[in-house]
Structure 1
Amino acid sequence: MTEVKSEPGKPEAEKAAAASFPWPIHEAVLDNGLRVVVSADPTTPIAAVNLWYDVGSRHERTGKHGFAHLFEHLMFEGSSHVAKGEHFEWVTAAGGAAINATTSPDRTNYFQVMPSSQLELALWLEADRMGSLALTQDTLDNQREVVKNERRQRYDNPPYGRWVEYALQLTFPEGHPYHHTTIGSMDELQEAALEDFQDFNAVYYSPNNAVLTVAGDVDAEEVVRLAEKYFGGIQRHGDIPAAPDGTLPQIKIGETKRRVEPDDSVPRPMTFMMFRAPDSRHPDFTAVEVLATVLGRGRGSRLYRKLVTEKNLAQREESYTSVWNLAYGASVFFALFSPRDGVEATEVEREFTAVLDGLADGSEPVSEAELGRAKALLTSDWLRAVSELGGRADLLGQYATLERDPKIVREYLARLEAVTTEDMQRTAALILPDDNRVVIEYVTNATPDAETDGDAGANDAQDAQEADA
C-alpha cells in the first residue's frame, strides 16, 4: 500500500510564510521505499523530473574513493531496454532538454526537463536504469578512462586545478568523509573489480535510497500511479549502511594551515582560502551564506571595495567568497584573490586578512546596509531558482534527501529575512579568525621550500602532497 501525505489546510499566517514557494507539494512513499514528491504547476506544458540518490563521495569507504562519481557516468551506459548512449537520444527525440547528472559529497542526482506529455517516458527511462543497469566490464573500463580524462581536464592540467583537493586535505582530517574530492583516486578506481561496482549499485541505487521529484504541468496522483507502475517492481535493499561519521570536535580547524605551490605555468600568483563553517542543516547556515555575500560578492562587497576600489591591489574579477554547502559535520566557506601586475601577493593578503579580522573581532561589523544588500541578492537568487521548473524540482529533491522533508523548502526566505547583524557578528567570529584558515598559495619563480616562517600547516601540506602522489 502506497503511503500518501497531502497538505492539510493552513492558517493564514502559515500561508503567508509559504509565499516563497506557493506551489503545492504532494508526497507519497511506495511499498519499496521510493519517495515521490510532486509539485504541480499548470502554467507551462513541461515537467521537470529529478531523481536524487542518497549517495555521494562522503559515503565512500577507504580504498573506494571516486565510486559515486564514476557511477554517475555508468548510469548512462545502458540498461535492459535502453542501449548504451540511447538515454540521451530518447529524451531529446521526445523534445526533452537539460538532461544531465551531478555528483556531490552528499548525493548524486539525475534530471531532465520534458514536455509534460512525455512524463511517462522519463519515468520509464529512470526506472529501467535503476532496476536493470547494464553494468559490464566493458562499460566499466570505458567509463574509467572517461573519468581519468575528466580529472586531467578539471584538476591536473588547468592552472590552479588542484587547489580544492589540496584545501580539503588540510581542512578535514585524514579519514573524514570530506577529506577527499568527488573525483576520487584514479589508482583506487583502476584497482577496483567489477564486483565492487555491482555491490555499490545493489546497495545505493535501490528505491529506498532515492527521491523522485516531479514539478510542472502534471497531476500529482497520476505521477504517483506512474511511479508505482515503473518503479514499484524494483526490489528495495534491506540494509543501506550509514555514511562514515563526519562529526568534528569543533567547527574551527584550530590553526592556520598553508600550502605554497610553486608553479611557473600559472598565468599569475593566486591565493585561495578555505574556512570550516556550520553544515547546511545548521540553524546558522543561512547566516553563513549572508556573510559570504557581504564579504565578497560583487562590486558592493567589502573585499571588492577594499582591495579593488580603494587600494587597487587585486584583479577585480577575482576577489570573492562563496560557500560550498555540505550537509554533515561542516561546510566550507572559501575565498580567493589574485594581485594586480606589479603588486606583491603578500601585500594583498595583508589587506585581505585585515578585512577578515575586522569582521571577526567586531571592530568593523556588518552594517544594516550591507546586510540588506546581501539579503536582496540572495532573495533574487532564490526567486530565480524557483521560477524555473528544473530548479524547483532540484530544491525539492535537496530538502527531501538531505533534510528528510521537502516542505522545508518554504522556510528559506523566512530564515533569510530573520538574519540580523548580531548573527553576522557571531558567525564571523566563528568562521573568519586565523585559527580557522587554510591557505593555498600559488607562486611563480619559487622553489618548493617557499613556505613562510612559522607556517603551522606546511608539514601537513607536504604529507598530503606525498600521499596523493
Structure 2
Amino acid sequence: MANPATAQAATSETAAPDAAQTARAAAARGAGFEVVEHRLGNGLRVVLSEDHLTPVAAVCLWYDVGSRHERPGRTGLAHLFEHLMFQGSANVPGNGHFSLVQNAGGSLNGTTSFERTNYFETMPAHQLELALWLEADRMGSLLAALDQESLDNQRDVVKNERRQRYDNVPYGTAWERLVAMVFPEGHPYHHMPIGSMADLDAASLADCQEFFRTYYAPNNAVLSVVGDIDPERTLAWVEKYFGTIPAHDAKPVPRDGSAPGPVGAGREEVVEADVPSRAVMAAYRLPHDGTREADAADLALTVLGSGESSRLHNRLVRRDRLAVVAGFGMMRLAQAPSVGWLDVKASGDASVAAMRAAADEEIARFVAEGPTPEEMERAQAQIEREWLDRLATVGGRADELCRYAVLFGDPKLAVTAVDRALSVTAEEVRAVAARYLVPDNRAVLTYEPTAVADEADEAEEADEAGAAAAVRDEGEM
C-alpha cells in the first residue's frame, strides 16, 4: 500500500530485534508459542497466539485473492482493491482508517501478491478492539461507500505507483518481463499484481463491486491476532464484529497454475534502455512452496547468490570484477512453480558474454559438486536467522500464521517450518540444482545501455537495483 504517511510506521516491526524480540524468537524455535484456531459460523478462520512480553498486539487479515485470481482484461484489480480498502467505508469515511490507527499509537499497511492480499495493524494492546472493529467494518460495509470518485482517485494512485516503481526507473520492468517469459500467455501468473495501464483504465465501478462481493467474504479469509491478548476476550470481540457478516459461496475456481516441465530453451530477450550498465538476468522455474524440494532450492540459491559470501559474488564481483551486483533470489509460490531470479549488473565495460559465462560456470560447478559442509552450515544458519527474525515480532508472526493457514491449510506449520529446512541434506541441494538450474529451464533477459550514465549515478543506481531484486521474492506490491 503506497501511502507515504504510513511508510515509516509500517516498517517499524522489521527493525533489528531487541532482547524481547530475541526471546520471542527463541520461544518460537522451541515451539513455545501456543497457537489456537477457531472458526466462526460464517466461515472466518481465526488464529490466536498469546505473547505477553510487550504490551502490543498485531492483527493480520489475509484474503485468499491475488493477481492469479484475475481474469484477462482486468489485471491489477486485486492490487487496486487493496488501495480501495483504505479509501473509506460506511462508518469510517475517507482516510479515517489511517487516522484512527495512527492516533491510537498503531501502525498499519496492506500488500498484494500473486496469491493473496493482506491487511495488518500493530497496536498498543489496549487498542486491539479498535483494530478488529476497523477490519470488520470495511469487510462488512465497504461497498456502501465505494463510488466512482473513490475508484478514480485510487486508480490514479496505482497508475502513478506503476510509473514510479516499474516504468520510469532503471531495470524497473525486468521482473515483469521475466515472469511473463517464465509463465506463458494465458497462465494466471503471466502478469504482475500491479496490472497494466490499459486494464487499470478499463476497470469499472461494477467490476470492483463484483470483485469485492466475490472475494472479500469471511469464508475467504484468515484473521490472526498475536501478542498481549486475552484469547477469550479477543474471540468475543471477533465474534461480535465479524460474526454477522454473511458468507459468500460463489467464488470461482481459480485457473490452474501448474506449469509442468522446463521453461524451454531459447527464451531470451534483449532490451536497449537508458540504464546505468549492462545487465544479465535470468528466471528459473523452481519447486512449489511447501515442499522439501523448495527448501532445498532455497538453500541452493542462498549458497550461490545471497550476500557477499556467496559463490556468484565472490566470482563475479570480487575475483573477476565483472559485476557490481551478482545475486540469486527466490520467490516462493504455492499454487505455481516458484521462481529463482539471477541478477548480474556489469562493472565498467564488462560484456554480457563474459558475465553470462562466469555465472554459468559457477552454477555448473555447483550442480556438479554441490555445497560444501561450510556452505551448508552458513546457508542453513542464514535461513534460520531469517525465520527467527520473522517470528521475532508479533506482526511478523501474525503474518506467518496467516500465510500457512491460507496457502497450506495449517497455521501451526509456521512454527516448525525451519526444522524442515534444517533437515535438508547437501545431496538434496545438489540434486535440486541439477534438476532445475539448467539452461533449458530459464528465461534470460539482457540489458544494453542506450546512454552513458554518470559514474557516481551508475554505482548508486546499480546498488539500488540490486537491493530491489533482493526483496522481490515475496512478489508484493
**TM-score, structure 1 length as denominator?**
0.88
Shift of 1:20: 4.4
Which residue of structure 1 lines up, in the alignment, with residue 314 of structure 2?
Answer: 305
AA matched with 1:359: F
Alignment of 1:347-358 (within 5 A): 347-358=354-365
Q: Kindly indicate whether the alpha-carbon contact (under 8 Å) linking 1:58 and 1:178 is maintained by their aligned counterparts in 2.
A: yes
Q: Are 1:54 and 2:64 an aligned pair?
A: yes
Which residue of structure 1 lines up, in the alignment, with residue 38 of structure 2?
Answer: 28
- d(CA) in 2 for partners of 1:405, 1:436: 32
Alignment of 1:10-25 (within 5 A): 19-25=29-35
Which residue of structure 1 lines up, in the alignment, with residue 303 of structure 2?
Answer: 294
- d(CA) in 1 for partners of 2:157, 2:294: 36
Which residue of structure 2 lines up, in the alignment, with residue 382 of structure 1?
Answer: 387
Q: Kindly indicate whether the alpha-carbon contact (under 8 Å) linking 1:51 and 1:212 is maintained by their aligned counterparts in 2.
A: yes
- d(CA) in 1 for partners of 2:426, 2:391: 27
Shift of 1:248: 1.9
- d(CA) in 1 for partners of 2:200, 2:59: 30
Which residue of structure 1 lines up, in the alignment, with residue 16 of structure 2?
Answer: none
Q: 2:165 aligns with which of 146, 154, 157?
A: 154
Post-superposition CA distance 1:232-291 (Å, at most 9, x none):
0101002221211112222x212241110011x211112211100011122311111111
Q: 1:359 aligns with which of 338, 355, 366?
A: 366
AA matched with 1:301: S
Post-superposition CA distance 1:32-81 (Å, at most 9, x none):
00000011011110001100000000000111111000000000011111
Paired residues in the alignment total: 424
- d(CA) in 2 for partners of 1:342, 1:255: 28
Which residue of structure 2 lines up, in the alignment, with residue 274 of structure 1?
Answer: 283
Judging by fraction of residues, say which structure has more helix: 2
Shift of 1:411: 2.1
Post-superposition CA distance 1:306-359 (Å, at most 9, x none):
1122222211xx111111111112010001111211322211111011111222
Q: Kindly indicate whether the alpha-carbon contact (under 8 Å) linking 2:46 and 2:222 is maintained by their aligned counterparts in 1.
A: yes
| Unaligned stretches of 5+ residues in structure 2 | 1-25, 452-477
- d(CA) in 1 for partners of 2:327, 2:429: 17
Which residue of structure 2 lines up, in the alignment, with residue 163 of structure 1?
Answer: 174
CA RMSD of aligned residues (A): 1.5
Alignment of 1:23-102 (within 5 A): 23-97=33-107, 99-102=108-111
Q: Kindly indicate whether the alpha-carbon contact (under 8 Å) linking 2:275 and 2:450 is maintained by their aligned counterparts in 1.
A: no
- d(CA) in 2 for partners of 1:21, 1:154: 39
Q: Kindly indicate whether the alpha-carbon contact (under 8 Å) linking 1:284 and 1:427 is maintained by their aligned counterparts in 2.
A: yes
> Cα 1:328–1:90, aligned 2, differ >3 Å: closer, same or farther?
same
User: SS state of the match for residue 255, structure 1?
Assistant: coil
Q: Are 1:408 and 2:410 an aligned pair?
A: no
Q: Kindly indicate whether the alpha-carbon contact (under 8 Å) linking 1:102 and 1:109 is maintained by their aligned counterparts in 2.
A: yes
Q: Kindly indicate whether the alpha-carbon contact (under 8 Å) linking 1:57 and 1:105 is maintained by their aligned counterparts in 2.
A: yes
Moved runs in structure 1, 4+ residues, more than 6 A? none
Q: Kindly indicate whether the alpha-carbon contact (under 8 Å) linking 2:29 and 2:388 is maintained by their aligned counterparts in 1.
A: no
Which residue of structure 2 lines up, in the alignment, with residue 213 of structure 1?
Answer: 224
Q: Are 1:396 and 2:404 an aligned pair?
A: no
- d(CA) in 1 for partners of 2:244, 2:341: 44
Q: Kindly indicate whether the alpha-carbon contact (under 8 Å) linking 1:79 and 1:128 is maintained by their aligned counterparts in 2.
A: yes
Q: Kindly indicate whether the alpha-carbon contact (under 8 Å) linking 1:53 and 1:108 is maintained by their aligned counterparts in 2.
A: yes
- d(CA) in 2 for partners of 1:29, 1:65: 32
Q: Kindly indicate whether the alpha-carbon contact (under 8 Å) linking 1:17 and 1:410 is maintained by their aligned counterparts in 2.
A: no
- d(CA) in 2 for partners of 1:188, 1:173: 19
Post-superposition CA distance 1:76-106 (Å, at most 9, x none):
0111110111100000111112x10000000
Alignment of 1:108-119 (within 5 A): 108-119=117-128
- d(CA) in 2 for partners of 1:100, 1:219: 24
Which residue of structure 2 lines up, in the alignment, with residue 444 of structure 1?
Answer: 449
Alignment of 1:181-330 (within 5 A): 181-250=192-261, 252-263=262-273, 265-315=274-324, 318-330=325-337
- d(CA) in 2 for partners of 1:342, 1:141: 45
Q: Kindly indicate whether the alpha-carbon contact (under 8 Å) linking 2:65 and 2:215 is maintained by their aligned counterparts in 1.
A: yes
Shift of 1:178: 0.8
User: SS state of the match for residue 251, structure 2?
Assistant: coil
Q: Kindly indicate whether the alpha-carbon contact (under 8 Å) linking 2:292 and 2:421 is maintained by their aligned counterparts in 1.
A: no
Shift of 1:142: 0.8
Shift of 1:18: 7.0
